[in-house]
């Protein structure tokens, strides 16, 4: 299939890191969902010009659990950074006992009903160890039982030239299998926090951006947004946070700085997602033997 024919949906979309990554690979978003009103505002501000039809045709859903799956346009790739709080080190690690954890099974239902060619899921690294590994085993088996291959890898921002570790589990699979699929190789890290902050920084790689704890003292173990630059303590700005997530300079936040930083803390590292997105698009474009 041609690159331009690859259609994807963007579930639990946040501010649109998956949308941006796949768009940069030539794919087209045909449906998206996000419940948070502030994130929805940022998403629409940045993607209305890029993909006007999902907004004009009512294809930007708020609560995915209330959407009739059959009404969603056909698509080739299901993308979802499904809610990570149930599996997060910072959360209560309730997993499937948390209603947000159960949203995974809605993804599985969508795979079963719509039968897309591929999926790309993302979550925090602690999902691998949650409940002694049983949570991840259930996710893997559920998807494989639906007839998909299942590949996973721990990917960090530093693997794709972003000076932020931010380890995340990427899960990719193809309907009917794709035994030769391989995640992209890492690239050298040449961008440092000194480049991000515009001065000599004491740290080469920055802290992982988070949702809570902003404004902690630089000596506090909870600190993630204070740095020493040219001998002075500075607080990470929204513009600098954008660069640490690989967002373009023209990406806009029509919300307060507090909300913008929260949204960045919930987002994905775009170059990492884009590198994997390109391998998915390339795999789908391969001629069938």
> Does the annotation mark 201 as catalytic?
no
Q: What pLDDT is stored for residue 101 in this prediction?
A: 43
Classify domain 3-188+266-285 at the CATH topology level: Rossmann fold (3.40.50)
Mean pLDDT over the full length of the chain: 90
Residue 93 clears pLDDT 50, i.e. is over it: no
Report CA torsion sign: 11, 259, 170, 24. positive
Q: For 228-243, what is each residue's pLDDT tens digit?
A: 999 999 999 999 999 9
Token pair listed for 240: 């600098």
SS3 call for 127: helix
Q: Which residue in the list 25, 29, 84, 201 is annotated as catalytic?
A: 84
Residue 18 clears pLDDT 90, i.e. is over it: yes
Q: For 143-182, what is each residue's pLDDT tens digit?
A: 999 999 999 999 999 999 999 999 999 999 999 977 689 9
Spans of all domains in the chain: 3-188+266-285, 193-263
CA 237 to chain centre: 21
HSE toward the beta carbon, residue 195, CA cutoff 13 A? 12
CA 267 to chain centre: 6
- pTM equals 0.91
Q: Where would I find the H helices in the chain?
A: 17-24, 37-47, 52-56, 103-114, 134-145, 193-197, 238-244, 257-265, 270-285
């Amino acid at each position: 299939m041609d690159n331009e024919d690859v259609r994807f949906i963007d579930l639990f979309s946040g501010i649109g890191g998956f949308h941006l990554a796949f768009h940069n690979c030539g794919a087209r978003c045909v449906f998206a969902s996000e419940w948070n009103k502030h994130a929805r505002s940022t998403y629409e501000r940045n993607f209305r010009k890029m993909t006007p039809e999902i907004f004009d045709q009512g294809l930007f859903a708020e609560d995915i659990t209330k959407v009739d799956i059959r009404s969603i346009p056909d698509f080739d790739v299901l993308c979802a950074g499904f809610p990570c709080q149930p599996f997060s080190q910072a959360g209560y690690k309730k997993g499937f006992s948390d209603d947000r954890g159960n949203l995974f099974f809605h993804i599985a239902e969508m795979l079963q009903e719509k039968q897309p060619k591929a999926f790309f899921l993302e979550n925090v690294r602690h999902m691998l160890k949650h409940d002694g590994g049983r949570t991840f085993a259930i996710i893997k088996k559920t998807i494989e039982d639906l007839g998909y291959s299942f590949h996973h890898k721990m990917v960090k921002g530093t693997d794709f030239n972003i000076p932020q570790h931010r380890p995340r589990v990427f899960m990719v699979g193809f309907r009917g299998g794709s035994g030769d699929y391989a995640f992209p190789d890492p690239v050298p890290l040449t961008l440092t926090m000194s480049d991000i902050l515009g001065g000599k920084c004491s740290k080469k790689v920055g802290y992982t951006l988070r949702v809570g704890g902003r404004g902690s003292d630089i000596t506090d173990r909870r600190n993630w947004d204070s740095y020493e630059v040219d001998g002075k303590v500075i607080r990470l700005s929204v513009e600098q946070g954008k660069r640490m997530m690989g967002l373009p300079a023209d990406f806009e936040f029509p919300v307060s700085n507090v909300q913008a930083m929260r949204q960045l803390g919930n987002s994905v590292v775009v170059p990492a997602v884009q590198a994997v997105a390109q391998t998915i698009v390339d795999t789908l474009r391969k001629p069938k033997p």
